[in-house]
Amino acid sequence: MKATALAIQHYIGAQVLGFIFGLAGAAVLLDNSARDSHFQPKIRESMRKLIINAHHEPSRQALAMIQEGIGCCGADGAKDYLSLKQPLPNECRDSVTGNPFFHGCVDELTWFFEQKCAWVAGLAMTICFFYVINIVLATILRAALEKEEEQSQTYRK
């Protein structure tokens, strides 16, 4: 009986740790995927480095892939190219109108990640809810086993 109680205690401990890590992970994910987060300056810096190094093929290809795929221009808009004295590439323009994309990649990527991260955080919180249910059920099971053991010892006497 002691081994069963110990196993249930370990199970409850593992569920509590899973709950804590899941909740912390969801909080960190939501904090770093939203507007005005620590994530935005990193995107801005990376985009500006890519624009400055656009004369190198790997940088140009990465920039083209990001701007075409997401539909953005520069870090904060077409003005980034103008301020860095770089030509505005075709990938930075709408293929139908020829106008440069209005929003910069920092905003577009933040909006993109906000949507995706909200789903992941929601899933993590759902899993945390199941951890709480498991903790409650395991606690009830442990109490029932202790009560049964106590009653069986009383019966034996």
pLDDT (tens digit, 9 = 90+) per residue, 29-73?
888 877 777 888 888 999 999 989 988 999 999 999 999 888 899
Model's pTM, two decimal places? 0.68
Query: Dihedral sign, CA of 33, 42, 24, 35?
Result: negative
Which spans in the chain are helix H? 2-32, 39-52, 57-70, 79-83, 105-156
Would you state the pLDDT for residue 95? Answer: 84
Rounded to the nearest 10°, the torsion over CA 46, 35, 113, 75 is -30
User: Mind listing the domains of the chain with CATH numbers?
Assistant: 2-156 (1.10.1450.10)
